[in-house]
Amino acid sequence: MADKKEKTAQNEKHEFQTEAKQLLHLVIHSLYTHKEIFLRELVSNASDALDKIRFESLTKPDIIERDVELKVNITLNKKSKILTVSDNGIGMSMQELIDNIGTIARSGSKAFLEKLTGEMKADSNLIGQFGVGFYSVFMVASSVKIVTRRAGTDDPAISWESKGENEYTIGEADKKSHGTDITLYLKDDETVYTEGWKIRSLIKKYSDFIAFPIYLPDDKGKGEIINESKPIWKRKPSDIKEEQYEDFFKQACGGFDAPLATIHSHAEGVMEYAALLYIPSKVSPLEIYNFERKHGVKLYVRRVFIMEDCKELIPEYLRFVKGVIDSEDLPLNISRETLQDNPLIRKIQKAVVGKIFTNLADLANNEPEKYKTFWKEFGPVLKEGLHSDPDNKEKLLELARFQSSIGDTEDDITSLKQYVSRMRDDQKDIYYITGESRSIAEKSPHLEIFREKGIEVLYMIDPIDEFIIPSIYNYEGKLLKSVTKGDLDLGELGKEEKKEQKKGESKFKKLSERIKNILSEDVKDVRIATRLKDSPCCLVADENDMGANMEKMMKAMGQSVPESKRILEINANHKIFINLNNIYEKDPKNKQLEEWVNLLYDQALIAEGRLVKDPVAYLKRVNELLITASEGETAQEDEKKE
């Protein structure tokens, strides 16, 4: 729904959209727990505008006057209760002002409102995600005026005014220089924000890291820089407090909670750069998993902002890392195209990735509970590197974690190194099972012999696991073996089962052939199982065939999957097959035998997580079996009465 508008002299009045009104009310009256946050929002916006003009000046030098200082100015007027935040950044055109300020709908107000929980503290964290922080000014101001002029154009300056209620006014204004002035007409009870000491303390608290000077008049009216002139990433780690790191993460990197880890490093010598990187504590699905994935690292060259979302500095599987990398050696006019082939970028990437690996390894070794938190959020993303980055395979294998049959819950994770240290003396391979979830995987009949023998099995239940298994192949000389594929060979640990298998093959040879004949369209072979203890049968893929879980995933992605028949393994010690064998020996052509074999095959499909071909036929067989069983039970009761 477009904003309603009417012309007043040279200005146009616009009415806020319904959703915008709701959001304004929330922001002004209940959403923020600290009103002072408005200054942080204004300074952050000013910094962005300065970054943009500095970047644009690389290709359009005339856009900025020679030797001009890019800066933020804050002026205070106690008598008139006015606070003004000005910058000489890129400024805004009429359309940009309408898009960015005039309508909150562009910032996703509908989505924002839908996500509100009603809990003030939790809801306030959503503001940065939807870009509506500017409207926090109405918590302290009765009205706000913006005057802005776009750099590099001959267009006139534009003004925007509103009381934060039902409407705003937009029109032309008198401003000669590019940039933006935001004037707040403070409420009577908010005049503390015209006090110099208050503004200084808030800038120190929230915006000390801004890479541009922030000026405030001193007692004599002379402009004084009130923030650190050196960006936080250029300062010594020993000079920075934890809360300063956290503020930078939240304000400059788009973080919402305190980061899980901070990596601050400087390199000098052959190449010189500074890096301030963060590992967030929570995943952002929109950034990590959507089609147009975002990378959280910004590139600066000699403190000049070059680009956001610099994919060339951080591999795809580390896209959750946020922060800044500032090079002293790259040219200022470097483009995305030249970045891809720049050898210096590759060296910086290698060094930075090494730092991240070292930090994660320290976290895993020294703070295992914290590492569990990291792995739960970002483990599936990090594991992508095992498929895409063979050069760092060994480091990634040390960091990789999996759920395991020896763990009680999803929070119990283990490394391959820990698995190998627990292997039984006669065990030669690392065993795993893939599946949609732990609950499904741990109920698989394929695990029965492993439980009985006390052999640990890894649960590979992340979708990426299917793709990385071939890349891992082995660890410390131990091959990774699927418990659902091939002819199971436990070596010395399965010696007794192999003996039982040979006996079963002899005893059930003819029944196996009959079953194979009945299921000729569905299975490629029938054999005696060594892996089953309680279940009557299961389906097994050939060693080089696609597993059931992979097959299901490929189909879900719309891929055509060639039909591959499974091997049906039967439990020679199970009463069902002992009974079936007796029936077969008495009457090889018994028609009921075919129904029971099909029923058992359908049950094996269900246990594998697949759908039966003919659900109606399956239900009919189950019902007939129930009728037969219940009639037998009734006959026994009648005999007892007689």
Q: Which tens digits make up the pLDDT trace of 518-544?
A: 999 999 999 999 999 999 999 998 877
Q: Give the pLDDT confidence score for residue 543 in this predicted structure.
A: 79
Task: Taking residues 123-145, report their average pLDDT.
Answer: 67
Do 294 and 309 meet the contact criterion of CB atoms below 8 Å apart? yes
> What pLDDT is recorded for position 85?
97
Per-residue model confidence as pLDDT tens digits over 380-401: 999 999 999 999 999 999 999 9
* Cα separation values, 638 from 360, 444, 626, Å: 71, 40, 18
Residue 252 pLDDT greater than 70, yes or no: yes
Give the lowest-confidence range in 21-30, 270-279, 477-486, 588-597: 21-30
pLDDT band at 41; cut points 50, 70, 90: confident
Question: How large is the average pLDDT for residues 235-247?
Answer: 91
Query: How far apart, in whole angstroms, are the C-alpha atoms of residue 594 and residue 243?
Result: 72
Alpha helices in 433-547 (DSSP H): 438-441, 448-453, 465-472, 495-507, 509-518
Q: Would you tell me the crossing angle of helices 509-518 and 575-586 to the nearest 10 degrees?
A: 90
Q: What is the pLDDT of residues 336-380, one digit of tens each?
A: 777 877 889 999 999 999 999 999 999 999 999 999 999 999 999
Q: If you search the block for the tokens 């391979």, which residue do you land on? A: 429
Q: What distance in Å separates the CA atoms of residue 404 and residue 198, rounded to the nearest whole number?
A: 55
Residue 185: pLDDT over 80:
yes
- Name the percent of the chain lying above pLDDT 70: 84
Reported as a pLDDT band with limits 50, 70 and 90, residue 205 is confident
- Distance (Å, whole) CA 488 – CA 507: 20
AA identity, residue 335: S
Overall average pLDDT of the 22-27 stretch:
62
pLDDT digits (tens, 9 = 90+) for 440-462: 899 999 999 999 999 999 999 98
Cα torsion 64, 69, 74, 80 to 10°: value is -70
* pLDDT score for 435: 87
List the structure tokens of 232.
Answer: 């936080």
pLDDT digit string, tens, across residues 576-609: 999 999 999 999 888 889 889 999 999 998 888 7
- The reported pLDDT for the residue numbered 125 is 42
Give the strand pairing for 566-570 and 523-528: parallel
3-state secondary structure of 224: strand
Rounded Cα distance between 399 and 390, Å, is 14
Mean pLDDT of the chain: 84
Q: Among the listed ranges 181-185, 271-275, 535-539, 612-616, which one has the minimum average pLDDT value? A: 612-616
CA angle 443–445–449, rounded 5-degree value: 110
pLDDT band at residue 481 using 50, 70 and 90 as cut-offs: very high
CA 374 to chain centre: 11
| Strands in 407-473 per DSSP E | 413-414, 430-434, 457-460
In whole angstroms, how far apart are CA 568 and each of 296, 487, 525, 598? 49, 11, 6, 12
3-state helix, strand, coil in the chain (%, to 5): 45, 20, 35
Domains and CATH numbers, the chain: 4-229 (3.30.565.10), 233-362 (3.30.230.80), 506-542+558-639 (1.20.120.790)
Average pLDDT over residues 140-169: 90
- Kindly indicate the confidence band of residue 265, based on its pLDDT and cuts at 50, 70 and 90: very high
User: 520, 526 in Cβ contact below 8 A?
Assistant: no
